[in-house]
Homo-oligomer: A and B are copies of this chain.
Amino acid sequence: MKTPDNAPTECRQVQSVLDTVGRRWSGAILVAASRGARRFVDFRRTVPGISDRMLSVRLKELETLGLLRREVIPSTPVQILYEPTALGRELLHVLQPLFRWGEKHLDEVSAATP
């Protein structure tokens, strides 16, 4: 069977999206943010199993990608707030169908990985 000429382009695009938002923890961090997490400790408590290092690395990445905004509040102790940008909220919105699929089918899928 033959694939259409634009198929490689589509594949490249899909690849790029998943390379940016599909990295380990990124999705979970965005969801945590959408559920109200703002401070470093909020995320650490809300994302199960993440280490300080990975959280720090991913928050920085997501900020660089323009999906989270970092705000420093010079109180004592200093507070650092992360919140979704408009772009981040839009991304969370299009991720909803994927999450619902996960809820529905994850048992079937993970049952297949021994």
Contact = CB atoms under 8 A, between A and B. Distances in A.
Interface string A96-114: 0111111101101110110
A64 B20 CA distance: 25
Number of copies of this protein chain within its complex: 2
A100 B108 contact: no
Given A65-B113, A102-B14, A109-B20, A7 B27 contact: no
Interface of A: 1-4, 7-8, 10-28, 30-32, 35-39, 42, 45-48, 64-67, 87, 90-91, 94-95, 97-103, 105-106, 108-110, 112-113
30 contacts: A1-B37, A1-B39, A1-B42, A3-B32, A3-B36, A3-B42, A3-B46, A7-B36, A8-B45, A8-B46, A10-B35, A11-B28, A11-B48, A14-B28, A14-B99, A15-B25, A17-B99, A17-B106, A18-B21, A18-B26, A18-B27, A20-B113, A22-B24, A64-B113, A66-B108, A87-B108, A91-B105, A94-B100, A97-B97, A98-B98
